[in-house]
Chain A
């Protein structure tokens, strides 16, 4: 029997604000959270802007582990997970701890440890604490969450780069459907990373000033950080315990371009497959979709191939269907991106307001047109689709609907 799966809790930390309320307020106000990076010295690079989470005090979210021994990506992940379970009030419900699982996606993982070590080597300072180094491994991201929340179900990490959050969400759906767990705490996290910045900088992908998805004059993406977590549970049990339900997850699609290590397929073949598969798993036709949360990084290549793929799948509707990219406000939060975008989609459905694509000045005929430019749009969204495309050709799409 197929169980219906709903979203009952949300947690988010981002450059525009942390916690659902602040995040959502700033998102629909069109606040741009990117600017000059403080976390590391950008003077050696030709680009200087990015996104950083402000006012983050990890100690607030830890009661079992010492946050000082946890790299920043793990700190953000634990914080978002704690926010989400408190939002859902799910740990006080009647679920056995062994029936709760965790899965997080990430791009760079606990990369800050590597950068600390490189700094240490250059400055010839004392060795890093062993515990911190031992916490480098990516599995520690979810292990830390499970230890903090005393969870005993399966715990995974899926490092499928910039699509990772959607993969984690799909994993959670599968685990609940298979009856292994009743609650899934899923999402993605990435701290801002100098190494990551060096990668995108070398590829010439970083924007001059701001991120301008789908704009004719877009110059690239902006490296950012954050964490997003969703609590998923069975619909019947959520209703029974009086949980607030943000939205229902209908299905997800996966694909792989298998074309190039970093560039998307020029015709977006993998993106098309992913969207069609997600719709099929959701038993929906393209006509049913009311809104698309785009991957929309702001690079010339991504936005063009993404637009082509959406046009292929949605046909004539593609340029009337609202499509927005919140990366215009947050920058690209890497492994957290599709998780934060899922949080935003759930809030979009729940509140009936679509967040804008900001910094939009000139339309590009090669790109989608109905990008909800610069101002949020009051619009009842029945079905939302969220796309994510990553290095390595990792592609995933999720579909959710109003309950």
Chain B
């Protein structure tokens, strides 16, 4: 899947959970979109379920914007070889 497709899907997931029609890719989820810890957990859970991946707990605080979420998820889906 291309990064554009992934970005689109992840944005859909977030919009569905937060119940908004649109937002900017660099909007802060917590301070601008009112995502509390439980909603963030819901976003994580839905992403994990959709892609059958596991997002480590120490990534949660870094998931501040859609850009960050795309970066973290694509990193897990296609880890860069060492």
Contact = CB atoms under 8 A, between A and B. Distances in A.
Direct contact of A and B (CB under 8 A): yes
Interface of A: 202-204, 260-263
A202 B57 CA distance: 12
B37 A263 contact: yes
Interface of B: 36-38, 41, 45, 57
Contact of A262 (B38, B45, B57): B38
Contact of B45 (A202, A260, A261, A263): A202
A262 B45 CA distance: 17
Q: Is the interface of B mostly helix, strand, loop or mixed?
A: helix
A260 B41 contact: no
A260 B57 contact: no
B57 A263 contact: no
B57 A204 contact: yes
B41 A203 contact: yes
B26 to A, nearest CB: 27
A261 B38 CA distance: 9
Contacts of B37: 263
Closest 8 pairs (CB-CB, A-B): A262-B38, A263-B38, A203-B41, A204-B57, A204-B41, A202-B45, A263-B37, A260-B38
A206 to B, nearest CB: 12
Contacts of B36: 260, 263
Nearest to B60: A204
Nearest to B42: A202
A260 B37 CA distance: 11
Nearest to B44: A204
13 contacts: A202-B41, A202-B45, A203-B38, A203-B41, A204-B41, A204-B57, A260-B36, A260-B38, A261-B38, A262-B38, A263-B36, A263-B37, A263-B38
A362 to B, nearest CB: 21
Nearest to A301: B37
Contacts of A262: 38
B56 to A, nearest CB: 11
B73 to A, nearest CB: 19
A217 to B, nearest CB: 16
Pick from B36, B37, B45, B57 the residue with the most CB of A within 10 Å.
Answer: B37
A99 B41 CA distance: 49
Nearest to A261: B38
Given A203-B38, A204-B57, 7 more contacts: A202-B45, A203-B41, A204-B41, A261-B38, A262-B38, A263-B37, A263-B38
A263 B38 CA distance: 8
A402 B38 CA distance: 42
Contacts of A203: 38, 41
Contacts of B57: 204
A385 B41 CA distance: 34
A204 B59 CA distance: 14
A260 B36 CA distance: 10
A203 B60 CA distance: 13
